[in-house]
Amino acid sequence: MWDIGIIGGGASAMAAAIAAASQCEGLSICILEKKDSLGKKLTATGNGKCNLTNAACPNVRETLEFFSSLGIITRTDEQGRIYPYSQQAADVVYGMVRQLKALGVQAKCGCGAQQVDKDANGFAVTCSGGEKLSAGRLLIAAGGKAAPQFGTSGDGYSFARRLGHKVTRLSPSLTALDVQEDFRRLKGIRVRAAAGLWKDDQLVSQEEGEVQFTADGVSGICIFNLSRFVKLEEHESFLEGIGRYRICLDVLPHMNLPQTEDFLWERRRISRLKAKDLLLSVVPAALAEKLMSTIQTDGDMKAADLSHEQIASLAGILKQWNLHLSGVKGWKQAQCTSGGVDLSQVNEMTMESRLVSGLYFAGEVLDYDGPCGGFNLQNAWETGIKAGKAMAASLQSEKTKEE
């Protein structure tokens, strides 16, 4: 019988185990990790550099103190993103695993939890291979459904449901978007743009940054951030729901519409330009061709012959290019899960379930998802540390009562 059992050996689980073992010496803590080592996903975060938090997070100081206590120092870039100084995600994993060993936390890797039950002593977990684990307190830190190649295939939600919890609608977040328009010839092109996500006639969210075109749609950090807001209603079919969304791109965000028209008129005077050459050095050539064909204008005609209406249409599409969504890239490509264990059923001070005493949740399994920039790992550290400290405190007070 363990004092604390933890399902998952990722970011939030390791933070929780370190926090619990540091707060109360002598606790027996066991981490069950499905993969053959701890922190596999963590090693891949931030393109291998691990963007571990962001200066804009309210509790960033506590996170930095936590890492400093592990011997991990950080650096902050001009956008507030915080990385280990070495920019090596593997250093974060190494630092955490070293501390877990030093604190006597047991990790059983290659051991996937398959079933979780509440019993008179606490919790009984049945693992792959038939092994059973009993624990007085149980933390579900099994992550979400995003990037299942790192072990996260949504098991945490099944355990939460089995123990009576509501899980809100799950969808891939921080991922590329597919559009109905044919983008095969734009694959690989990048432009700086402002992008707005619209649902019907409502602007849902806006971002500015580099947009990358893929064969099926658009990608890049600003698109990832918009993908968080593509949410289907409970009653809607996928096609119905997705059809209500569009991305509106502004590929000349530093000019307004009249300025863009003036700019095009001015360029129209340059001798012997073709229509598509009005966009020469403004956007990549393949994109210029696509924009010309979208406004049904022959890019090879003389720029000087363009009509008022054609110039107005070109300015219009540069400022407001509507791309109609046909899909959201799936779980394998997503960095995060939108939806999860309903936060109203969890005490956000301790991360303990309000329905099942002794049961805790941390990390992405919860109904929280943040934008790119370190916010999701911050959530993992923050909820993990809270749960670890709360589990240790409740065990301490139980022992004091017994004495």
Ligand X SMILES: Cc1cc2nc3c(=O)[nH]c(=O)nc-3n(C[C@H](O)[C@H](O)[C@H](O)COP(=O)(O)OP(=O)(O)OC[C@H]3O[C@@H](n4cnc5c(N)ncnc54)[C@H](O)[C@@H]3O)c2cc1C
Identify whether the C-beta of residue 34 lies closer than 8 Å to the C-beta of residue 58: no
Pair of tokens at residue 128: 């792959």
Site residue total, ligand X (CB under 6 A): 39
Return the amino acid letter for 332. Answer: K
Residue range at the interface with ligand X (CB under 6 A); choices 116-124, 185-193, 346-354, 361-369: 361-369
Four-point Cα dihedral 147, 152, 153, 155, nearest 10: -160
**In the complex, residue closest to ligand X by CB:** 10
167 binds ligand X (CB under 6 A): no
> Counting contacts by CB under 6 A, is residue 34 touching ligand X?
yes
- Residue from 2, 3, 5, 8 touching ligand X (CB under 6 A): that is 8
Instruction: Confirm or reject binding of residue 12 to ligand X (CB under 6 A).
Output: yes
Given 63, 152, 171, 313, the residue binding ligand X (CB under 6 A) = 152
Complex with ligand X: residue 297 or 379, whichever CB lies closer: 379
Counting contacts by CB under 6 A, is residue 388 touching ligand X? no
Instruction: With beta carbons less than 8 A apart as the criterion, state whether 173 and 369 touch.
Output: yes
380 scored as a contact of ligand X (CB under 6 A)? yes
As measured in angstroms, the least distance from the Cβ of 191 to ligand X is: 24
18, 70, 146, 222: residue in contact with ligand X (rule CB under 6 A): 146
Q: Which two tokens stand for residue 301?
A: 């005609």
Residues 6 or more apart from 299 whose CB is under 8 A from it? 274, 275, 276, 288, 289, 292, 293
* Interaction of residue 261 with ligand X, rule CB under 6 A: no
Q: Is 7 in the site for ligand X (CB under 6 A)?
A: yes
Please choose, out of 40-48, 254-262, 265-273, 389-397, the segment that lies near ligand X by the rule CB under 6 A.
Answer: 40-48
Handedness of CA 293, 295, 296, 300 (dihedral sign): negative
By C-alpha distance, which of 238, 181, 259 is closest to 215?
181
Q: Establish if 141 lies at the interface with ligand X (CB under 6 A).
A: yes
Among the residue ranges 37-45, 62-70, 215-223, 391-399, the one whose residues contact ligand X (CB under 6 A): 37-45
Hey, which residues between 76 and 135 contact ligand X (CB under 6 A)?
112-113
Question: Using CB under 6 A, which of 216, 364, 367, 382 touches ligand X?
Answer: 364
Which of 2, 5, 11, 96 is in the footprint of ligand X by CB under 6 A? 11
CB of 19 to ligand X, least distance (A): 13
Among 4, 13, 176, 315, interactor with ligand X by CB under 6 A: 13
Residue 313 as a binder of ligand X (CB under 6 A): the answer is no
Closest CB 190 distance from ligand X, rounded Å: 20
Contact status: 74 vs ligand X (CB under 6 A): no
Supply the minimum distance, in Å, between the C-beta of residue 187 and ligand X: 21
Q: Does 32 bind ligand X (CB under 6 A)?
A: yes
Q: Taking CB under 6 A as the rule, which mask of x and - marks residues 49-68 in contact with ligand X?
A: -xx-----------------
Interacting span for ligand X (CB under 6 A) from 30-38, 99-107, 130-138, 310-318: 30-38
CA dist 167 and 176 (Å) reads 24
What's the CA gap between 149 and 151, in Å, rounded? Answer: 6
| Residue whose C-alpha is closest to residue 217's, from 184, 178, 173, 250 | 178
Instruction: Kindly tell me which residue out of 340, 358, 363, 371 binds ligand X, with binding defined by CB under 6 A.
Output: 363
Residue 340 touches ligand X, criterion: CB under 6 A = no
Q: Based on CB atoms, which residue is closest to ligand X, 117 or 236?
A: 117
Residues at the interface with ligand X (CB under 6 A): 7-13, 32-35, 40-42, 44-46, 50-51, 112-113, 141-143, 146-147, 151-152, 155, 335-336, 363-365, 374-377, 380
